[in-house]
Chain A
Amino acid sequence: MRVRFIALVPLVLVAGFPLYWMVVTATRRQEELFGGGVHWLPDVTRLGTAFTAAAEGAPMLRWLTNSAFVAAGTTVLSLALAVLAAYALSRFSFRGRGVFGFALFATQMLPEALIVVPLYALFLTLGLLNNLWGLVLGNTAFAMPVAVWILKTAMDGVPREIEEAAELDGCSRYAMLRRIVLPLITPSLAAAAVLAFFDSWNEFLLANTFMVDEEKWPASKGLASFVGEFVTPMPTVMSAALLFTLPAVVFFLLVQRHIVAGLTAGAVKG
C-alpha cells in the first residue's frame, strides 16, 4: 500500500497548496508579501487579526449577508419546486413525462452565457435587475433541475408498498409525500439543499451581470472586484476569500457522497 501513498502525496500537495496559500497570505503582513523573500508558513498568531481586518475593511460582511440571502432564497425555492416535480417523475407515468425529464437534464448543457443576455432583457422589463430577488430567480433555474434529479433518484429507492398501505388508510397523495416519502429521504434532501445553497453561494456570472450597486453585490462579485487590485491589501483580500470559502468547503464535504450518487444517477438515466 505504500506505493499508493507515495503516488498520491504529490497529487495531494498540488490539490491542497492553493488553499493552504490562501491561509498563509491571509495571516501575513502586507509588507511581508512584496519585494522578495517568501514566507512559507502561516503566522498563526495573526489568524484572528486577519478575519477582523477582512470584516472591517471593504463591505465584506454586507456582501456575505447578500450571498446568504440569495443562497437561502434559492435553496427554499428550488427545493419546494423540486420535491413536487421529483415526486411526479418518480411515482407517476404521465403524458409529457419524457419531455419534462429531458428538459430538466438539458438545462445542464445550456450555457448560462446564452441565457444571461435574454434574462437580462427579461429582468429589465420585470424590474428585477439590481435586485437580490432577481438573483434568487435566476439561480433557481440552474439549481432546481439538479435537485429534481437527486430527489427523484432517492424517491425511486423508497418502496411503493409503504405508500400503498397508507393509501388504503385514506391518506392523500400530498400527505403521503410529506409524511412518508420525505422523512425517508432526508439525507438526499439535505444533499440537494446544500448543493443548491452553494451553487448559488458561488454563482458569479449572473451576479456580475445583474447587480450594479456595490452594497447589493453578493460576495462572489465583491471578491472578484479585488482581482488584480492593489489598493486593498492582499492579506485582507485573502481573509475575505477564506471567510467565503470556509462554509462552502465544510458543508460540501459533509454531503459529497450523496451529491455524487445523485448527479451520476441523474446523468445516467437522463
Chain B
Amino acid sequence: MRRTPYIFASAAALYLLVFTAWPLLDGIRLSFTDTRLLNPAAGEWIGTDNYAALLADPGFAATLGVTLLYSAATVAGALLLGTAAAVLLDRSFRGRTALRTLLTLPWAAPTVAVALIFVWIFNVDDGVLNAATGAAGLGRHGWLTAYALATVTAVSVWKVFPFVMLVVLAALQAVPRELLESAVVDGAGPATVFRRVTWPFLVPTLRVVALLMTIWSFRRFEIIWLLTQGGPVDRTTTLVIDVYRTAFLESDLGRSAAIGTVGLLLSALATVAYALAERRSTAKDLT
C-alpha cells in the first residue's frame, strides 16, 4: 500500500525525466560547449566562453531589451484590456453570453492561422488596414517594417487578452454578493465599491495572471516568427527568436543554448519575485 502512490506517479515522472528534465540539463550542458548543429558529437567543453561572448555582444543586449519591452507591453496591455472586458461583462445583460464568446475567439483560434491572417491584413499594398487608413486620410504604412515591434505586440495582446478576461471574470463572480450589496446600502458609489470591495478580491488573481502572462511572453515564438522572423534587422528579435535562429539558421548550438539558459533564468527570476510578493502579501493579510 505504501508503494501505491509511486506506482501511480511513476509513468508521468519518468516521462518528465526523459523528455523535459534531461533535455533541460543537456541544454545547460550544451551552453558550455562549442557544439555545431551539423556535427553534434564533435562539440567540446569551452567553459563560460559562450556567456562571455553574449555579454560582450551589444546585439545580445539589444535582444534583452526587445524581450523586456515586448513582454512588459504585452503583459500590461493584456491585463488592462482583459480586466476592463471582464468588469464590463460581470453584470448580466442581454447579449452578454454572445459578447463573451466573441471576445474569447482570439484565444481559441490557432496561432498559425492568426499570424497568417494578420500578415495579410498588414500587407502594404493590398492589406485591408492600409485600405482603411488610406481612405481615412491617415496614410498607408509598413506596419510590419516601420512599426514592427509595436505591431507584433498589438497582435500578441489581441491573442492573449481573452485569457485574462476569462480568469478575471471567474474571480469577479466569486466576490460575495452580500458584501457588494451592503456596501451599496452604506451609500458607496460604484467607483468606491470597486476600489474597496471588488479590487482586493481581484488582486491575488491578477498577480497569478500577471506571472503566467510574463512567463508566456518570454516563451512566445509563433506570433513573432511568422509575422517578422525577428526583423527588420533584429528589431523584433526576442530571446526565443534568437535561440531558434542561432541554432537552426546559424547552426551554433552552444551559443543558442546559452541564450536559452539566460531566458530560463529570467523566467525563474519572475517566478521567484512572484513567490516573494505572494509571501509578503500573505504576511500582511495575517497581521
Contact = CB atoms under 8 A, between A and B. Distances in A.
Are these two chains actual partners, yes or no?
A: yes
Interface of A: 1, 4-5, 7-8, 11-12, 14-16, 18-19, 21-22, 25, 33-36, 38, 80-82, 84-85, 87-89, 91-92, 94, 97, 100, 103-104, 107-122, 124, 137-138, 140-141, 144-145, 148, 173, 198, 201-202, 204-205, 209, 219-220, 223-224, 226-228, 234, 237-238, 241-242, 244-245, 248-249, 252-253, 256, 260-261, 263-264, 267-268
Given A114-B263, A119-B23, 15 more contacts: A1-B93, A1-B94, A4-B89, A18-B114, A19-B105, A33-B126, A85-B9, A88-B4, A110-B267, A112-B219, A113-B260, A114-B261, A118-B257, A263-B167, A267-B212
Contacts of A21: 117, 120-121, 128
B58 to A, nearest CB: 22
Contacts of A18: 106, 114, 117-118, 121, 158
B79 interface: no
B152 interface: no
Given A18-B118, A88-B9, A238-B117, A202 B263 contact: no
Interface of B: 4-6, 8-9, 11-13, 15-16, 19-24, 26-27, 30, 40, 81, 84-85, 88-89, 91, 93-95, 99, 101-121, 125-126, 128, 131-132, 158, 162-163, 166-167, 170, 204-205, 208-209, 211-212, 215, 218-219, 221-222, 226, 239-240, 243-244, 247-248, 253, 256-257, 260-261, 263-264, 267-268, 270-271
11 contacts: A4-B91, A8-B99, A12-B103, A25-B120, A87-B8, A141-B16, A141-B19, A145-B16, A148-B12, A204-B221, A238-B120
B93 A248 contact: no
B129 to A, nearest CB: 10
A84 B247 CA distance: 36
B247 A117 contact: yes
Contacts of B101: 253
A12 B102 contact: yes
Nearest to B23: A118
Contacts of B119: 227-228
Nearest to B12: A85
A113 B215 CA distance: 13
A81 to B, nearest CB: 4
Contact of B253 (A22, A87, A117): A117
Contact of A115 (B23, B204, B271): B23
B27 A35 contact: no
A88 B11 CA distance: 11
Nearest to A251: B108
Given A94-B6, A104-B16, A4 B222 contact: no
A69 B58 CA distance: 44
A88 B6 CA distance: 7
A76 to B, nearest CB: 13
Contacts of B218: 109, 111
A19 B117 contact: yes
7 interchain residue pairs of minimum CB distance: A114-B260, A92-B5, A85-B12, A88-B8, A118-B23, A252-B108, A88-B9
Contacts of A264: 167, 170, 205, 208-209
Contact of B221 (A14, A107, A205, A219): A205
Contact of B27 (A81, A117, A124): A117
A261 B117 CA distance: 30
A253 to B, nearest CB: 6
A91 B6 CA distance: 12
A91 B267 CA distance: 31
A114 B264 contact: yes
B104 A253 contact: yes
A253 B23 contact: no
A14 B28 CA distance: 42
A97 to B, nearest CB: 8
A110 B235 CA distance: 24
A260 B167 contact: yes
A253 B97 CA distance: 12
A14 B132 CA distance: 14
Contacts of B27: 114-115, 117-118
Contacts of B163: 260
Nearest to A270: B208
A115 B103 CA distance: 33
A144 B12 contact: yes
Given A114-B243, A118-B24, A234 B215 contact: no
Given A122-B22, A260-B167, A8 B264 contact: no
A241 B11 contact: no
B105 A111 contact: no
A227 B23 contact: no
